[in-house]
Amino acid sequence: AGLSSAVASDGVTWIETPLEPGEVHDGPLLLQDIDWQSDTSSLSVSWMDFYSFFGPERYEICAGTQPLLCDIAAFENVTNLADGSPLTRAVPHPTQLQVYNHTLRGLALQHGQTYYVTVTLVDTVGRRTAAASNGVGLDAT
């Protein structure tokens, strides 16, 4: 009967923290980059050092014939580690950085072509940063 209340705040402070793209390595072994491969149907990649204060929501992985181009394999979402555990927030300390890997399968790769894998971090507030591998050549002979 005529009751009311009011609530106020002193505002919100938004601190813009930079996103940091990390290292991307071609090949099936963690952080061991390869220059050539003979497999014509898949590309493997590992990555580390991507950073967002807000933590990763997911990584998006694609492949192309140029760095940061996705003309060979469209983005695949990576939301869990290889063992099925969820992604964890990155911590900017060298002994606590996460290393991730993923394999794009079902590709039709051509002999003599160089392929680049792009990794995009999408953080929990929707910001994005990307980095590409230095490329892997295909030698199917």
Q: If DSSP states are collapsed to H, E and C, what string results for the chain? A: CCCCCCCCCCCCCCCCCCCECCEEEECCCCCCCCCEECCCCEEEEEEECCECCCCEEEEEEEEECCCCCCCCEEEEEECECCCCCECCCCCCCHHHCCEEEEEEECCCCCCCCEEEEEEEEEECCCCEEEEECCCEEECCC
Residue 67: pLDDT band with limits 50, 70, 90: very high
What is the model's pLDDT at position 94?
Answer: 46
pLDDT tier, 8 (very low <50, low <70, confident <90, very high otherwise): confident
24-66 confidence digits (pLDDT tens): 999 988 888 999 999 999 999 999 888 888 888 889 999 999 9
pLDDT at 116: 98
Binned at pLDDT 50, 70 and 90, residue 92 comes out as: very low
Distances (CA, A) of 19 to 46, 78, 125: 19, 18, 12
Q: Is residue 101 over pLDDT 90?
A: no
Instruction: Indicate the pTM of the whole model.
Output: 0.81
Can you give the pLDDT at residue 90? 42
pLDDT surpasses 50 at 89: no
Is pLDDT at 80 greater than 70 in this prediction?
Answer: no
